[in-house]
Structure 1
């Protein structure tokens, strides 16, 4: 047995020259790559490595890192603590079916996707402490059927919904800003129903609504009846809001051929226009009519004067005689000033010759000589 294993190890060493710090024993292959300022997982490692320590580096767990990890099918312990991981994406460790211990503490993890731990059927210890996790999906640990120790201390969790039945033996939840309200009721029920040991229970307290009492989240008084009333009220509010949005969208949706004629050829009822459209149409009509009236009131006098002034006719020969008669009548009808020695002026008009059009088609203007004499 040992001889066959040594032959396999020698073949692996020949095919994969190792420059990393790895130790090989009769049962384990341990590679220590801690504190080397690595930004990527090294590729020059034993493919049959069982324990890999990559702590205190700058690894972000990119896609290339995940591809390298998938080749370590015999890995049972993986330490990625004290790195620069921010997000755990789906299937980050999917091929590590023999992994038992996973330590991702002291990173900058804020988001854990729903299927981040998919495929870890043998995982027993999971350490996610000292990160920036604010929320965990209720199904995130569903695939971890063998999980016995869960460390979530010193994150930013306010509540945690338990959906699956864990076989946990120990959990560490201290250092989170737990809110002892209806959102924490599921976790409290699970802690009470299961025999799990909550490490540092006295320091796992509520920070809201009263942080001075230092109540343990397991012992905090959360009334289930109040939570049911609050849940029912919230569901009614959500239902009412959704109904209003659907009604508004239906009133604003224009009729289409699909809602005019049904699938069986029958005419469906058209949606009624909303009152907002009627009001908008009325305002628009009022504005247009008012604008038209103002425009007409301003422009009509101008058009009227323009039409009146546009009267042109040809000058006739008898126009001078008519003007003479009209002027004489005006002078004779003018009143005289009493008490003066001045006599009325006598105005003599000469007959103005008629305008005779020249041969070139233009009319020559003749000067009118008028002689006014005064008697002394």
Structure 2
């Protein structure tokens, strides 16, 4: 049995119309590059899906943000080479369908915490060739589906691990990376995750000088951080003691506390001197507080409490035989008063160790 094929030939005009109708349903392009616009125009087709505003003077201020909210069907937005300096919070909040955002070649130096709020479908974020100095990795948290992150040619020296579970490509070259312990988490993440570094061979350390030939992914940070762990702890203790010594010496007026001109070779001698001074001062204060107590204890060392049988014997001696009391020679009353006052000046106050029952017993005997 012979099978014949049937070919249907359509006119070229019909094919073009079919293709144009299919494209118009999915994509509406608007190109406004190099128009010298200072703001985003508000008379663009509301069904626009791809908007290119590159090479203008747009600053992306509050007015531009309100205009952008009208184009909620946008899937791609290009703001390359404009005058954007700050990405404010909720700048793209209404663009829930946006998949590509390009703000390269601006003057961006600050990105607020909620700058990318609402961009749940964003797949590509390009922040290259700006002036970003410090970047909080948590600003990327709303970007649940981000695949490509471009941060090349900025001023970033350290960066924490971005919380991006779907990220596949990150571009970091052209930044002055400081390959110290602060970059260790990022390095571990780059080595253990499936994320690829764009242009890894030129993504190198800028500081310190001994690591300039290393990539930030292969720099020996673990060994360096391990060797400097105890050194950093010693430095913290030194700074703390130094601050204490400065405040102590300034209050006493003996030293000015200015140690900036001290030679590095005398640092340990200075530390020992500070420790000795602090201990000596503490000891002197302690002795000043404790000496009166020790003096009272020394004077009352020979005192002891009368036992019960000793008290009874003493009472009997007083009440039974008054003549047995020692006779005081008859002296002038004025001399007696003087002697009493002199004796009284050396007597320490009653410390509670002796129960003096003589006075009570004698007073009872006189009453009877």
TM-score (norm 2): 0.56
Rounded Cα–Cα distance in structure 2 between residues aligned with 1:88 and 1:130: 15
Quote the residue 1:198 is aligned against.
197
5 Å matches for 1:123-142?
123-142=122-141
Work out the CA distance in 2 between the residues paired with 1:220 and 1:185.
Answer: 9
1:225 aligns with 2:249: no
Q: Which residue of 1 aligns with 2:183?
A: 184
Relative to structure 1, the CA distance from residue 211 to residue 202 in structure 2 (aligned partners, 3 Å threshold; closer, same or farther) is farther
Do 1:182 and 1:227's aligned partners in 2 also have CA atoms closer than 8 Å? no
Per the alignment, residue 144 of structure 1 pairs with 143
Give the Å deviation of 1:138: 2.4
Alignment of 1:56-135 (within 5 A): 56-135=55-134
Deviations 1:311-365 (A, max 9, x none): xxxxxxxxxxxxxxxxxxxxxxxxxxxxxxxxxxxxxxxxxxxxxxxxxxxxxxx
Q: Secondary structure at the match of 2:116?
A: coil
96-105 or 192-201, which deviates more: 192-201
Runs of 4+ deviating beyond 6 Å: 233-244
- The Cα shift of 1:120 comes to 0.6
Alignment of 1:1-376 (within 5 A): 25-162=24-161, 164-210=163-209, 213-223=212-222, 224-226=225-227, 228-229=229-230
Distance verdict in 2 for CA 1:67–1:153, change over 3 Å: same
- Contact between 1:159 and 1:178, CA under 8 Å: does it hold in 2? yes
* Bigger Cα displacement from structure 2, 161-170 vs 115-124: 161-170
- For residues 236 and 139 of structure 2, the distance between their equivalents in structure 1, rounded to whole angstroms, comes to 25
**Partner secondary structure for residue 140 of structure 1:** helix
Separation in 2, partners of 1:25, 1:227: 62
Contact 2:206 2:212 in 1 (8 A): no
3-state SS of the aligned residue for 1:198?
Answer: strand
Determine the C-alpha separation between the residues in 2 that align with 1:84 and 1:203: 28
Equivalent-residue separation in structure 2 for 1:243 and 1:67 (angstroms): 55
Taking the aligned partners of 1:240 and 1:53, their CA distance within structure 2 comes to 60
Q: Distance in 2 between matches of 1:26 and 1:150?
A: 29
Structure 1 residues 183 and 58 mapped into 2: Cα distance closer, same or farther (>3 Å)? same
Asked whether the 8 Å contact 1:134–1:157 carries over to 2, the reply is yes
Deviation for aligned residue 1:243: 11
Please report the TM-score for the alignment, with normalisation by the length of structure 1. 0.55
**Other-structure match for 2:318:** none
What's the secondary structure of 2:138's corresponding residue?
coil
The size of the alignment, in residue pairs, is 230
Distance in 2 between residues matched to 1:46 and 1:176, nearest whole Å: 39
- Structure with bigger helix share is 2
Distance of aligned partners of 1:163 and 1:127 in 2 relative to their CA distance in 1, 3 Å threshold: closer
Distance 1:74 1:238 in 2: 58
Q: Compute the displacement of 1:71 (Å).
A: 1.4
Q: Distance in 2 between matches of 1:199 and 1:58?
A: 30
